[in-house]
Amino acid sequence: MPADDVVLSYDLPVPARRAFYLYVDRIGRWWPGTYTNDPAAYDRVVIEPRVGGRVLARYTGGHAEDWGTVRHLDPAGALEHSFNLSHRSGVPSVIRVEFSDHDSGSRMRFRHTGWNRDNSTDRHRFNDWPLVLSGYVDHVRRAAAHQD
C-alpha cells in the first residue's frame, strides 16, 4: 500500500516568480547540509533549470551525487523532479513545488509524492521536510527584507 504524501504550504512575502527563483536558483544557499549523505563535505545543491536537468548535491573535492531529474519546469512557478536521496529501495519518489501569487506575496505548495509499493518503505525518512523547508522560508524572508 502506498504511503501518504508529504504536503506543506507556506505564505511568502515575494511574488511567485521570485519565490520560484529563490527555490530553484538559490537552493544551494538554503538547503541544510545535515540533510545530505556527507554533511562534513557538503558544498551545495544544484538544480539544472531545464526538463531533463539534474538535481545534484555537490561536495568539496568535486564529488557530486545525483538526487534526481527535472521532469517539469515552469519559471512562472512550478517544478517537479524525481528524488533519490535516502531511498534505500532504489526507487525514487517525486517532489512537486508550485507557487501562486496572492495579495501579499505568494503561496508555495510543496508535495513529496510518488510513493508506491516499491518505495513506500522509504517514506519514514522524510518527516523532517518542515525543518528543511524552514531554511527556504527564512531565506525568502531575508531576501525580501534586503531585496536580494
- pLDDT tens-digit readout, 56-77: 999 999 999 999 999 999 999 9
Q: Does 62 reside within a domain?
A: yes
On whether residue 99 sits in a domain, the answer given is yes
The answer, yes or no, to whether residue 6 has pLDDT greater than 80, is: yes
The CATH number assigned to the domain holding 139 equals: 3.30.530.20
* Distances in whole angstroms, Cα of residue 30 to Cα of each of 9, 35, 63, 89, 125: 17, 11, 20, 27, 20
- Tell me the three cell numbers of residue 16: 511567485
Indicate whether 120 belongs to any domain.
yes
Cell of 28: 544551494
Q: How many domains does the chain have?
A: 1
Largest CA distance in the chain: 46
Q: Residue 77 belongs to what domain range? A: 6-146
Supply φ then ψ for residue 68, to 5 degrees: 165, -175
| 1 found inside a domain | no
> pLDDT of 104-137, one tens digit each?
899 999 999 999 999 999 999 999 999 999 999 9
Q: Is 124 part of a structural domain of the chain? A: yes
- φ and ψ at residue 39, rounded to 5 degrees: -55, -35
Helix (H, G, I), strand (E, B) or coil at 116: coil
Cβ proximity of 115 and 9 under 8 Å: no
- Span between the terminal Cα atoms of the chain, in Å: 44
